[in-house]
Structure 1
Amino acid sequence: MSNTHIAEPLPLISRKAQGLKGRIRVPGDKSMSHRALMFGAVAIGETTIKGLLEAEDVINTAKAMTALGAKAERGADNVWRVQGVGIAGLRSPDQPLDFGNSGTGVRLAMGLMATTPLTARCIGDASLSKRPMGRVTVPLSQFGTTFEASEGNRLPLTLHGAKNPVPVTYTLPVASAQVKSAVLLAALNTPGKTSVIEPTPTRDHTERMLKGFGAAITVEQREDGRHITVEGQHELTAQAIDVPGDPSSAAFPMVAALITEGSDIVIENIMLNPTRTGLIDTLVEMGGDIVIENRRLAGGEEVGDLHVRSSRLHGIRVPASRAPSMIDEYPILSVAASFADGTTRMEGLEELRVKESDRLAAVEAGLQANGVPTSSGRDWLEVQGGGAPGGGKVTTHMDHRIAMSFLVMGLASRIYTSVDDSRFIATSFPDFTGLLNGMGGRIGPPDAK
């Protein structure tokens, strides 16, 4: 049974640690895991996936691909195998597709289904059902797909795939790898050429992996941005994928080591795709002692080991141009900023208003609850550093990254921090608590000594 469906909240408390030590591996990259399952489902042949992130979000994507007629299952050797059905082979599922907490899962799957004549109902948990889907239903409708959505363009939602899809050219109104990917996936089974124009670059895992699967895809830099073009109705070929560690998950032990005195850790096998290293660049700029060791290539992506030691950080201005490469990492960056000398200002954060929660408001409330002075606007946040006193209880709003960020804060706070509910951590990082405690962290139930 899934942790997120337990009725009772699971509060946790985090206390000051004496220094984190060890070599660890974090879960496989979430973005690559979702895409490997989906591309494998519409490829010809058997795709094998090592290192798949076996968290709830990704397992829900695997179940959805199976319900759509592909077959995705883990072998006794812990390798996942996906039997693909070809780009036009998906079929209407018998039951609603439940994407749990995953915005990536549902938005990419909608793109994958949009240009095949099937009907599918998409549902999710309470948190996902609050999130707007218009940002993908609007461009997908241009292919000829129709949607019956709940009020406010939200889940539950029924998708009717286009019988005769037409190619589109779509300029992204906001930087979003999910929206870009949904359109590119819809293009796979659409005759002719579909183009996405991206004024601000976002994560490019979809383009890289589609190329690896043999899609007819080109990427061109022009004055108005990146033009990504897919020529549709070319079959994909099954691949062997080895998923590196997720930089968004590595962010938590990395910041924990930087702010906890006496720490010295190595986080192995982390993806270093340049569209995902914004947080590492920012923390180094703040004075963080982070050294990338053993750089190498794996599956078209650069990977390496992160050697992190506790450091004295200082506040900086983080420009809006960096936001797309680290949009999920602002909660944990805000925690790092609370331990830095001086003020850190983060700009270009409007995307955080439509994440699992209004993530910007939730982060600011959590910081203030733990004695950290802040100020903010629609798309910016300023954090006054100097150390987090702690002592506050953080409302997570069913958001896994809020929960993990403030549990990291407690490891270096003067008192402790607590979160009201930790169940949703399982959506991306099932062994978060065990991994940090194994290095010397002190995270446990509120009544634990």
Structure 2
Amino acid sequence: MFTIARFLTTALVAILFLATLPVHAQDAAPAEAVAAAPAPEAEAGELDGLENPNIDAATLTLRLIPLTAEELEKLSADWLAIVRASTVDVVDEQIRINNTSAELVEEAARARLTEVTESRRALFDKYSTILDAWELKGGDAAKIAGYRTYRSAIIVEETRNTDWRTLLAQATSWVVSADGGLRVATNVGIVLASFLGLLLLARLVRRTVRHWAGRIPNFSKLLVGFSALAAYWLTLAIGLMVVLAALGVNITPLFALIGGASFILAFAMQQTLGNLASGLMIMVNRPFDEGDSVDIGGVSGTVRDVSIVSTTVITPDNQIVVVPNSSVWGNVITNSTASETRRVDLMFGVSYKTPIARAQAELEKVVRSHALVLSEPEPVVRVNALTDSGVEFILRPWTKSENYWAVYWDLTREVKDALDRAGMEEVEAGAPPVVAPPTGVAAAS
């Protein structure tokens, strides 16, 4: 029972202590790096007071700003001696408790150990602040890693060799301390509150970008939507980095992590990245926009939505087709609504018994009387071919793009009705044309 309790308590304390450590790479370093090499001597007076263990943390942070990497190296060595002496005190108290029977250990003894440990933890925080400043000023990475490893090794070894009752007391003390659990809880609360605030700000930015981008004449709906979405996520990303930096989190390793992950994802998601690049090309070159009627590689319908990776098309029979953007950009795109006007092409045939002039006049009358047919450009009604079955006429009226199918269907019916009323016999259009026999060859009787 005690063994299990000791293990669980040890794990809890280790996690709590490691949670307070700054985010740094814990690369192994030679033990010799801990024993710092002699650093160049700083000018007299420049480090006065910085070796004082009781210096305020905020004051220490400000006093470190003008120091050079060489000065910070010397100061790090001094503080290594300070935290080492404090660790000796912690070890002495722990030995005193270990040499006393568990039943005889007074709570006051554990309280003294906890107090010394808390004092040493505060010193370690200042020690880490100095190492952070040294690292930012371009200090020797191997030496800095050795200094950091010293702290990590001490915490792990102490946790492993401390009885579970003492660990529990230390954990409880850490949770309720202003510089321990309360600070972590406060920072977590700040991050959560900041994230909620950033969500509201990002939505406001997205709405503003959408409004202003929509007023730019050359921006399509697709590009407006993409710009608003990009502004939304950039606001969240930059805002979170600012919040974390303000809380003292070193975000430099985060950029390295993102760079490495991007390199790996570039290989793992080549097809998706191809769709993404094609989506950007579609948004920039604007071959179509939302609401346009298009034919994309055999898929015909109305564009409902274009995301960064795919295009959604609704077919005339209300089916939803999602086409990858790489397929869209790699195929021939026919946009039926890109122009304001369209030409309607129709063909009709009448028998050879019907006078051509009379038939043409009747067809022109039907075309010009339709309300949706434009007067400019002028409709074309011409004899297109002489086929085996009769005379083929072609009708080419112009109308607005949105009225194309209305004109097509109306004229198909109205021409048929007009020819029937005029007593003209209609024949099949599109039949093979009459081919004259070669010169000198008698026609078959």
- Whether these two folds match at TM > 0.5 is no
- The structure with the greater share of residues assigned to strand is 1
TM-score w.r.t. the length of structure 1 is 0.19
Larger Rg: 2
Greater RCO, CA 8 A, separation 6+: 1
TM-score w.r.t. the length of structure 2 is 0.20
- The structure with the greater share of residues assigned to helix is 2
